[in-house]
Structure 1
Amino acid sequence: MKVVWRDIKAARNSYAVLYAACRQAGYTLISSDHPKGEVTCYSVNSINEPHYRSEIRDAEGITIVGGPHASASPLEVAEYADYVIIGEGEKTLPRLLDAIMTGSTAPVPGVATKDGITQPDHTVLLDAYPCFLEIKGFLEISRGCPHACAYCQTPRIFGHRMRHRSIDAIAASAARVSDARFVTPNALAYGSDGRTPRLDRVERLFQRLAENRIWFGTFPSEVRPEWISDEALELIRCYTAGRKIHFGAQSGSDTILSRINRGHTRGDALNALDLCRSHGFTPIVDIIVGFPGETGEDLEMTMDLVRSIIRYGKVHVHYFMPLPGTPLAKAEPTPLPQDIERLFGSLALSGRLTGYWIEPRRRFLNLSGDNEVI
């Protein structure tokens, strides 16, 4: 049975992960820029999903769709896909391929169809699967998040309890690459419960990967601002190659931070900025604008934080997008004033700001305002 993986830029690390899991089960996922073969697999998020909807609906073979959007809205996706994988795919995708190949009609746990949903019956043990094999990707060291930020899909898909891959398992995958780059909701939380640091375990990880060039605390292994400390930064400086720290402040307004259940304050972000500067790191800070209910005062406090960041760092700005499966899924973004849009444009031209501050689908799909996505 020929199984194709639809090549989508935003899902290339998912391809590495699921290629490895399927290889263990006897299947090879063949990358392709269009659907072909007996089965085509997709991983979509809420930004790019509309772009692939008609392609999936019209594909000649069997279609399997997973990813954040599919996990959050499985019955919606099942209207045009044959099968939808809910949540983690390492065990579920090979199970489903087995069922397709044998012609079994028994429901597969973790799979939805137009006839309904069969809930997952497991949580993935990370050590049961390599980070990647021949198809290289990032080293996923942790999964899940104990925080419950109202805009974020991560804890809703992967759970509120952190799971960590063992150092031995990480090292086995790291031996395949020269540079070690990690995937984790909070890099400094490795080996911990996600609320109390265990920097001794982070250091043991660094020591074990001494043959690698280590990149830590930058995309896609960002950290939380309240976890940044003198001890943590000295550890990163001692063992890793990077001199940038990427963290999410999200808003400069404590009112907004409390409302979205972010779990830290404006003061934590300012303290993290000072610590980065004092240890010689460039801070790269995520900011979200347009939160529902964001007032002019809230926005001004965020802009004041932006001005603090760009004195010796960079801002990565996002315009709020309601994501399915989150508490803010049906919330409306607050429009951004034109003078702020112009300021962001100016900061981007000067190299002090990256990201987007317009409607996300238009930016990422290169759609004009007149295009209708169907």
Structure 2
Amino acid sequence: MQVNWREITAARNTFAALYAACETEGFVLRQVSGPEDDVTCYSLNSINAPHFEDEIASAHCVTVVGGPHAAACPAEVAAYADYVVTGEGEHTLPRLLRAIEAGETRPIPGVATQDGICPPDHTVFLPAYPPFSQFKGYIEISRGCPFGCAYCQTPCIFGRRMRHRPVDEIARYAARFRDARFVTPNALAYGSDDGIHPRLDRVECLLRALDKNQIYFGTFPSEVRPEFVTDESLDLISTYCANRRLHFGAQSGSDRVLGLLRRGHTVADVENALDLCRDHGFTPVVDFIVGLPCEEDEDELATLALIREVTRRGRAHVHLFIPLPGTPMANLRPKALLSEMQRDLGRLALNGKISGSWGDPERRFYRNR
């Protein structure tokens, strides 16, 4: 049975991980630019999913769809796809492919069809699966997030308990690269038992093991949280890592809004992280969400003030609120931006101080080829 993987730029790292997982079970995923026999697999997010719906619905082959959108809206996706992987794919996808190959019709845990949804019966144990094999990808060092931010799909898909890949395995795969870059919800939470209280001794153990690499840690795609930015954590990054930028999320300049978002930190934590970056010679790169439905005008102006402060010391990455399925804010819509916010964001962008998209979310998320 030939198993194909639909090439989508936003899903490259997912392809690397699932190629490795399927390979261990005897299935080789062949990259294709459209659906082909016998089976074609897709990984979709909630922005690009509508662009592939007609292609999947009209495909003359068995279609399997996973990814964040499938996990959040399994019944919707099952209306146009044959099978929907509703969560983590490393165990479920090979299990499903074996069933398809054998012609089995029984429900597969973690898979939805038009007949209904069979709940998953497992949680992925990261050390059981390689981060990649033939096709290289960023190494996922941790999965899951305990904070439950109201706009974020991560805890909805991967749970609120962090799981970590062992140091020796990370080092073994990192040895295939010159630069070591990682995927994690919060790099400085690596090794933490609860994901809330850092274990910097374990972070140092990881960084020390990567002595053959040029390490990038706390920068995309391994951002950190502002309250994890301390003298001790920055000392570690200064000692072991090549990056002199630190990427963390503020999201809002209003403590009231941060509380409603369930962010778990304050504006003071962000300002302290900015001061510490300056003291340790790091350039901060700070994420913000604008157009939050829970904002009043004064909250939006407080966010703009914090963006201005950030851009005096570093850079801001700004994007418009996107209501993602499966999250507590899924049914809300962005608030129209104040003219002052629009004017200043445009001016800062022209001066190279900010990046992102606060008008069209597809510019950030949708990549077809």
Find out whether 1:303 has 2:275 as its counterpart.
no
Tell me, which stretches of 5 or more residues in structure 1 are unaligned? Answer: 368-374
Cα drift, residue 342 of structure 1: 2.8
1:336 alignment counterpart: 337
AA aligned to 2:165 is R
AA aligned to 2:51 is H
Contact persistence 2:144–2:163 (CA under 8 A): yes
Cα drift, residue 364 of structure 1: 4.7
TM-score, normalised to structure 2, is 0.97
What is the CA–CA distance in structure 1 between the aligned matches of 2:181 and 2:99, rounded to whole Å?
35
SS in 1 for 2:81: coil
The change in CA–CA distance for 1:366 and 1:145 in structure 2 (over 3 A counts) is closer
The change in CA–CA distance for 1:279 and 1:363 in structure 2 (over 3 A counts) is closer
What is the CA–CA distance in structure 2 between the aligned matches of 1:255 and 1:39, rounded to whole Å?
49
Matched ranges for 1:108-127 at <5 A: 108-127=108-127
Matched ranges for 1:230-241 at <5 A: 230-241=231-242
AA aligned to 2:55 is E
SS in 2 for 1:95: helix
SS in 1 for 2:148: coil
AA aligned to 1:230 is D
AA aligned to 2:214 is R
SS in 2 for 1:324: coil
2:148 alignment counterpart: 148
SS in 2 for 1:301: helix
Contact persistence 2:64–2:81 (CA under 8 A): yes
What is the CA–CA distance in structure 2 between the aligned matches of 1:53 and 1:170, rounded to whole Å?
36
1:314-373 Cα offsets, whole Å, 9 max, x none, are: 000010011111111101211112342232122112110000101413765599xxxxxx
Taking only the aligned residue pairs, the percentage that are identical comes to 61
AA aligned to 2:13 is N
The change in CA–CA distance for 1:100 and 1:176 in structure 2 (over 3 A counts) is same
Matched ranges for 1:1-374 at <5 A: 1-192=1-192, 193-361=194-362, 364-365=365-366
The size of the alignment, in residue pairs, is 367
What is the CA–CA distance in structure 1 between the aligned matches of 2:36 and 2:347, rounded to whole Å?
45
What is the CA–CA distance in structure 1 between the aligned matches of 2:364 and 2:273, rounded to whole Å?
30
AA aligned to 1:288 is I
SS in 1 for 2:313: coil
Tell me, which stretches of 5 or more residues in structure 2 are unaligned? Answer: none
1:253-278 Cα offsets, whole Å, 9 max, x none, are: 00100011110000000000010011
What is the CA–CA distance in structure 1 between the aligned matches of 2:272 and 2:363, rounded to whole Å?
35
AA aligned to 2:361 is P
1:58-108 Cα offsets, whole Å, 9 max, x none, are: 111111000001000000000000000011000000000000000011111
SS in 2 for 1:127: helix
Alpha-carbon RMSD across the aligned residues, in angstroms, is 1.3
The change in CA–CA distance for 1:183 and 1:365 in structure 2 (over 3 A counts) is closer
